[in-house]
Every structure is written in C-alpha cells, then in structure tokens.
Structure 1
C-alpha cells in the first residue's frame, strides 16, 4: 500500500469512541466530521468534532447503519477516510468494500479479513488450519434442528450456543441440560436474526470456570505484526463485560508469549491490517498456568482498549490512523513492554437489582472524578464518555454512559484508585451501576484475582444481598438531607427574609419531621435547630448532633463527613466516600388517590419491541413463568408472571413498539378455592 495523506476523517459512530477519535485526530492536525441521528443532534460527541452531518432518524437502521448516507456525508464534506469506531458498521465487510469503492480509506482491516472472521464457524475452521487451539464443538454450516440437537448430545452438557455471525455478547446461551436445548436454541436464533440478520449458530463445550482473555494485535500493510499483550475480561453479566484489566493476573510470561504468537498467527491467516482483538477462553492448566482456546476475532478496536494504552503508553487510535495511511507499525515486538496495571469499569444506565435491565432517562447530575480526557495522567484516572450532564440516555442505543479507567504501579494500587474514582462519580436521573461496580471491585474474588465468567453469580450475596457494602447508614442519609434542606432554605431567606422556613418561634424553635422512604422502608427523621450550625437529629429512639460545616461538609456526632446531596423533586441522592443512597421524601397528601390497584396489568419495563409471546389468551400460568420477550437496547428481556393467573388478553402483536409503562397483556389472578 502506498502512503495516503489523511487530512479529514468522518467518524461513522457515536458516543465516547467518536470523542476519542476526534481528540487524537486533532492532535495529529486532522479535521473530523461527526455523523449523527436526530436523537444525538446535541450530543457531546457532535460538539467534539469540527463538522457535523445529520443522518436523520433515531433507530440505528435509520441512521448509523445507513451505509449510503454515511458515504454520501463523507463525499460531501471532503473526508479522506472513515473511522467506524466499534459497533454498528465497524465489522461490516460490505461497508469496508463500499468505502474502498468510493475512494475512501476505511480505518480498519480489509473487507476480506472482516468477512473471514465475521462468521464464527468459518473463522474456527480457519484457525484450526492455522494451528490455533479450539474448544471442542460443532462449527458446521448445516443448521437442521435434529442435527444441532444430535451434535449437542455428542458434545455433552453444559454447552454454549452462539450466533455464528455474533459478537458483543448477543446471541449466546448456556444450556445446562438436554430438556433446555430447544427453548434456548430458539431464543438464540431470534436474537441472532434481530442483531445480525442470520439465525446460524455454532455449539461448543461449555468450559467450566472459564476466563475470558483477549490479545490486542496490530498489523500493517507491509506484513508486520505485533501483539500488545492481553486483557482479562472475565467479569461479565449477560455475556457482556463489566470490568476489564491488563495485564491478566496470574498469566506467566511464557504462556503470554504463546498466546500472543497464536493471536498473530490468527491475524496473519486472514491478511489482517489495523487493530484487532483475538479472544480466547482460558481454564486452569495442569502446570499451574492456563490452557487457552480460540473463541473469536473482533475485527475492530475494542471498548476496553484504554487499559492496553495505559500499560503500554501508546495511542492505539493514532496507530490505526497511521497504519490506514500506509505507514509501517511504529514499533517492533521487542520494543513493547508492560508498565503497571490498569482496570476499566463500564458505567452503564441499567438496574443491577433488576437483572441489569437497561434504563433510559435524563442525566440530571453527571459528575466525574478529576481525570485527564484521553491519556493517563499523574493520578492515573481517565474517563471516556460521549454524554454530558443534562443529556438523555435514549432507548435506541447501547446503555453505556462512560468508561472509567485507572492505572497504578501494581494491581493493588489500581484497585484502590478505582474505588476512589467510583466514589467520586455521581449520577442522578437514570438508574446506573456505579455502586454495583464498587461492590464488584471490592468483593473477595475480584480483589484476590480469583477470576472467571461466573464471578458475579458466585459473589451474589456480596453484590446483591442485604449486607452488601457501600450503602449509607440511614442516620448519615437523613443528616445529609436535613443539612441540604436547611442550607437551601437559608439561601432562599437571604434573598427573601419572609420566606425563611427554619421553624423559628417565640419561645423556642419548632421540631420538624421528615418521612423518608428508603427501599421498602419508611422512617421519620425529626430535627430541631439548636443554633445556627447545630441541629438535634432524632431517628427512632436515637438522638444525634448534626453540625453544618459548609456546603458539602457536615459532622454527625462529631464525625466529619464530606457529602454531596442532590434533590430532584421528592427524590434525594446522597453520595459520600463510604457509599451512596437514593431515597424519597414522602408527602402522603401530595399522592392522595394515587393508590389505585394495578392488579391484572403487565406493563413494559422500558421502551422496546415485542419479539415473542410465549403464552396465549386463556392460558393459565404460574408465578415466574415467561410470558413475553421484548427487545430493547440490542438485548432480549423476558417478561415473567408476577403471580399465578390466567392470561385474559394480549394487547400487542409481534414486532410492535411499546413505550415504557405500556400495558403489554392482562393477567387475572387465579381465584382461590373457598
């Protein structure tokens, strides 16, 4: 490939990766063009670029998946190249070929490499020929149900069904026993068709206590290849990554080299150019190290690439641009080394307590720890995000809000830095997983690097139980709320003395009471001003001394506390270094008449599309029985019966779009025998 000057890049993606590409391009004196949907018109990543072009629409099929519109935008703005980011069209061989045909540089591998690795079954056959270790399984083209069922019996249970054209954790199911095979196969195929347009699957032995270790590889158009070491991505929920780190704990130098060379063999087998990731499933080996098996190759940059950048000190996006321009790789293998340890936490709009159901809404508060935007700085904290305070998390795209990356000299130092940074991350307005990430990073298995893909399930009590860490004692929460209310009232009184609401009376101050709902409980906090900065706080039979030391500083019984308290109507969110709490200030009069029964109604938990009804009208169902399947934010969600009952009516059809709270079906309770 002859060297080609790249002066302007169109970024065919959204969110934090678009921000990241724009920042690197600016440092290289390259202009950038953002393309965006109608929903993203005012998004942070659009403002980060030099120019912007609207693709219209909202859903990806009407915007970010429109190859014709994206290429037309590149031509209209005079772009020389297109960076596909990750997701959407980044692993679409047809799009890569279309870019080349239009005279545009595709900042990624050639279309032939994408096609070769795009189908899991075909890629496994290629890897077998290249001598890369494989998990025993069925990777054939024949997809007849009886054949697949027979192959499942041959492989043995438990096993894994995977969409052949899949990626990103979608179209995957673990099957524990023979009787569960048909249902899981059907579900996997539905998700595969929705996500990738193909129902083809492969079946593999399910490795017990597997680790997910991937190798970052890079190739250029001159035949040079390097591996930039590994990332451990074992901590997952719903087959999607939660925490990633580099290097992989416990991996010996010899096995690291062996895995790296296998990854290069995989890349060389398909003539790979650019950044790619070869993913391996690993399990304990007899020699105390690990055995590893090829899983798939992601023919793009990965979401978790910042941890590799942190330990190598390299900018992988810059490497992508230089290689796409025809330059050779900047470094050889013997010039690469690992420095320190890095961990990335994916901050997502989701509810961990409700099976990680994605959430939508407005980011009323989005406060981050001190960090540098795109490179690790002296205090080792980096945040990549494509959203900003006041923006919306829509139902149309992935629910990731930001990536928090920390770096330290050791894993222990990185863990401490991660906890401190998560404690300083304040999000209000949309359900999120920040507290869950703190608990996960602090749990015994992760702290001791006892890693496998079942870690979250194994640590269930520590992550979801009643004694889980990083919640705030009610007294601290109540004290923070009282302090917030008092200080807000003082600010108002300074502007209008007649609006002073501190409870002053001739003959002494009045005691005020707040009913605070936290979880399934409601408790009363009574407070009485003693002087300007001291308040008597009563909770049950206990009495505390609350001292106001400043806007965010209080003391409870002499113990100093730095808290941040945010109020949205009746909702209060309190953050402290030791944890956080979200509560409601109850006002019974304000909600009089709102307690009408909701019996018999089953509503959509979030905006989405109906992909399947698993019952019919008139059918009797048991509590917990699956009733319907919805698709939202690129994932399937099963709606289950909350009670024993009879389905009286299905209110929508397959393929219908529902808004959050829309009545999906009616379920009548079973009448108990007299």
Structure 2
C-alpha cells in the first residue's frame, strides 16, 4: 500500500493523513468548492477537486471519489467517518474497482447498518438485549400489544436510524398511534426507510461503547470502553475513557460481548459496539458502528495504540501485533467536541468566520480549520476535538479546563463554554450522570453564571497581583523611618 485517498474532509482527513505520512504512505485529498483552501488539501501529497459544496455533488458522489482514486493511482481509500464510511454499496464498488477499502467488508456494514438486522445477527450469541419487538411494525394495534408486554414507557425507533431521528418516547397508550406515525414519517424522510420497531424505554441510561479491532486472520480484541453519555439532541459532545462507573468485572463482560458482536458479522478493522447501561449496571446491546468513531482519540491515549495505523495494517492483511492480554489501561482521557454551535440558543449552528483561532499548546487538538476560514453551512459544524490525558480522571479534568481556557475562538459561538460548564459541574466530576445530563443540569443561564464567576475570579486575581506589585515597587520617601530602617 503506497498511496491512500482519504474520502473525507476536515479534521478526520488530516488525522488519517498524519498517520499515513508517518508510515511512509502517500496521501490524496479530495475537496469541494467550500474546502478549496482547507488545511487537509494543502497537507496531502495530491488533491483532487470533486465538485460544488453540497455533499451530494462532492463527498457523497461515489463515481467521483473512485475516479479520483484511479486517476491518482491510489491503492486504497480510507472513508473516515460520516459521508460514505458506512455505505455498503460504496465499499463494494471500491473493492470491485480493485482498490482496498480501509474498513469492514460490505456484509458487515449492511448487517450492522440496520438495527433490526443487527439484533437478529447477534441474537444467538447470548448478548443482552433491551426487551421489545425485534421486527418492523406499522400496525398500532400490534404496537399496543407489545407495549402492554414490556410496559410503558416505550421507545419507537427507526430501523435504519441514527442521531435521534425517527425516535419517539411514548408514555401511554393514548399517544402511541400519533407518535408512531411521526416516527415512521421522520424515518422515511431521513433514511428513505420507514421501518420502526419497539423497545422498552430505559429512562436514565449511560451510553457506553466498546472499541473493537479485528484482523483477517481470526483475531479480535477490545480496547476497553468509552463513556459517551453527555449528549445534546442524542448526539455526543463529551466522551471519556475509561468510564467512571464501569468496574473491572463489568468491563470484562462488556468487552467479551463486544467481541462476540464483531464475530457475529465477521468484522474486520476498527469498529465500535454501543451499549446502554442502566441504573443497576445491567447492559444492553444498542448497535454497532462499522467505522472509526469521532471519539477514537481517547482510546488511543489510554492504550497507546494508533487506531488509524491498525486500520491500515489490517487492510494490508497483517495480523494484529498484540493480544487481549497485552492491552492495559493507562490513566484517563477526555474529549470535548468543539462545535460551531451556540449553547445558549439550544445549540443551534453558529456559522461565520473564525476571526480568532488559537489552540492550546499542552493538549491534543484534532482540527481542520485555521484562523480566517469560514465555517461552511453544508457540513457537520464540528471545528475541532480537544483531548486531554492524565494519570487520573481528576488530573485529566483539570488539564481539560486549562486547555479550554487557552483555546481562543472568536467570530462564532462554540461549545467551549458548555465544555467548561460540564467539567466544573458536580454531577460530572462525581461521575453521577447519564444521557439526560443536559436536560437535568444545563441551562443557558448556567454558562452566563459560569462566565461571570470566571470573570470575578480573574478580576480578584488581577487586583491581588496589582496590590502585590505596588507593594514591591513602592519606595518610601527619603528620610522616613521606613527608608532609614533599610540602611
């Protein structure tokens, strides 16, 4: 493998390129009109223009991406995450073109891309499942029967869904039919598939995911868990590894279950198995993401393993160079997704120009923007990922707070103030939180109060320094007792 085309943009494109360059592999960037001057385009050895800014005409155009790989002589394509990364048809077409797809086989993507198919696939592997109906339902009468069996509240979910779309919590039988029709309609609009199914609603879960890695020689390991419970609109904002509430015995059971899920679909490469963890620490299989996750850096920092490098090695047909017994957890890692969003306005996108963009020096920042660049409206609003590592969770939190204070962004609103709120909050610091953290603890006023407190402390500190320095620099008048006492 001498040359890789990265079928993505921004921070993940740069992330893959850096590892490829360290491995002596040339890289090819692709870009849209909106990303013509983006850092990932300049960093790559070659770059190919795909088309206009809308992703359907650029990053999602399979023909253009595969043609770019052929024209540049790329041996392989790394899809990153998002865009075409979990598209089985794309993986199949890449292979048919004689190019290596750095990711799982199309079958695994296909099976795990549908929640119902995924549940059916892992059903014979003794993996805990949320009680419910593991088949599509569109009949309200049948839905009422299932709800009566598992008990309200229930959760209606899109089979092909993700990101909270096509998902409805139903508290009682009276609202079931209306919520069901809404879920079906939203699923059709978002995914082109209106299939929905029903599960028992677990009210206060933690979202725990396990990183797995498998080669083509039958070896599969897990690289421990990440806690991704701090979310807004069912999408993650803060992640950490390991979880503050997962004890070694539970970690072992969840890891073994994740490996079974990977084996159930003959998985190859890096993937993530997601679980819900209830208040009694019972865990249930949720889904599998058949790609590299946004939050993979926290796993890299606690294990010392470069997951992108492992993806490339596996795609080259190499065996894993380590076993499960070789893996250890080293310290604690945290990640804050820095989005161009306004936390004080329901996390709505904040589009504009980065008039100031200065990153902290003593933290890992995976970013794809530079000062003076515009945040395009066409793509995900994530600007960068801020990651810290410490010997303990408390140390990682303090390093994160220092890094947030050193991260200067002006011109748009970001989730940095929200991050400061999270990492200073008692529920997070104590580890006593779940996926409802935002609903229970966060208000726009909380950021204003936190900012006011930071300003007050800064003012007091400045006054203290001023007083200290004036005392040091003050010189008593000649002839006074103070002057005489010094000589």
Fold match (TM-score > 0.5): yes
* Matches of 1:107 and 1:87, distance apart in 2: 14
Residue 344 of structure 2 is aligned with which of 353, 374, 387? Answer: 353
Structure 2 counterpart of 1:269, from 264, 268, 276: 264
Hey, which of these two has a bigger chunk of helix by percent? 2
1:307 is aligned to 2:301:
no
Q: 2:324 aligns to what?
A: 333
| Offset of residue 250 of structure 1 | 2.3
* 2:449 is the alignment partner of 1:468: yes
The alpha-carbon deviation at position 228 of structure 1 amounts to 0.3
Distance change in 2, residues 1:211/1:181 (3 Å): same
Deviation by residue 1:207-240 (Cα, 9 ceiling, x = unmatched): 1210111100011100000000000111111101
SS in 1 for 2:35: coil
Alignment TM-score, normalising by the size of structure 1: 0.66
Please report how far the alpha carbon of residue 196 of structure 1 lies from its aligned counterpart in structure 2 after TM superposition.
2.5
Closer, same or farther in 2 for the Cα pair 1:466/1:350, shift >3 Å?
Answer: closer
Match of residue 283 from structure 2: 292
Which protein has greater RCO, CA pairs closer than 8 Å, 6+ apart? 2
Corresponding residue for residue 73 of structure 1: 68
Give the CA deviation at 1:474.
7.7
What is the deviation of 1:312?
Answer: 0.3
Q: 1:25 and 2:20 equivalent?
A: yes
* 1:163 matched to 2:158: yes
Give me the whole-angstrom Cα distance separating, in 2, the residues matched to 1:167 and 1:419.
Answer: 31
Q: Which residue of 1 aligns with 2:244?
A: 249
Query: Structure 1 residues 150 and 48, CA, compared in 2 at 3 Å: closer, same or farther?
Result: farther
Matched, 1:55 2:60: no
Instruction: Note the residue ranges of structure 1 that are not aligned, 5 or more in a row.
Output: 1-5, 372-380, 480-543, 545-552, 562-674
User: Residue 172 of structure 1 contacts residue 239 of structure 1 at CA under 8 Å; is this kept in 2?
Assistant: no
Q: Tell me the distance in 1 between the aligned counterparts of 2:468 and 2:11.
A: 37
TM-score, length of structure 2 as denominator length: 0.91
Contact 1:438 1:470 in 2 (8 A): no
1:558 aligns with 2:466: yes
Distance change >3 Å, CA 178–CA 358, structure 1 → 2: farther
2:380 aligns to what?
398
> What are the within-5 Å matches in structure 2 for residues 501-520 of structure 1?
none
Shift, 1:345, TM fit:
0.5
Q: Which has the larger radius of gyration?
A: 1
Partner Cα separation in structure 2 for residue 425 and residue 393 of structure 1: 17
Structure 1 position 95, deviation (Å): 0.6
Rounded Cα–Cα distance in structure 1 between residues aligned with 2:414 and 2:448: 20
1:422 is displaced (CA, Å) by 0.6
* Shift in Å, 1:472: 5.8
Q: Is the 8 A contact 1:319 1:330 kept in 2?
A: no
Uncovered stretches (5+) of structure 2, i.e. residues with no partner = 470-487
Which secondary structure state, in structure 2, belongs to the residue aligned with residue 215 of structure 1? strand
SS of corresponding position for 2:452: coil
Which residue pairs with 1:626 in the alignment? none
**1:48 CA drift (Å):** 2.0
Distance 1:333 1:122, change over 3 A: same
2:421 touches 2:447 (CA, 8 Å); kept in 1? no
Number of corresponding residues: 469
Is 1:440–1:456's contact at 8 Å kept on the other side of the alignment? Answer: no
Query: What is the SS of the residue equivalent to 2:166?
Result: strand
Which of 412, 423, 428 pairs up with 1:441?
423
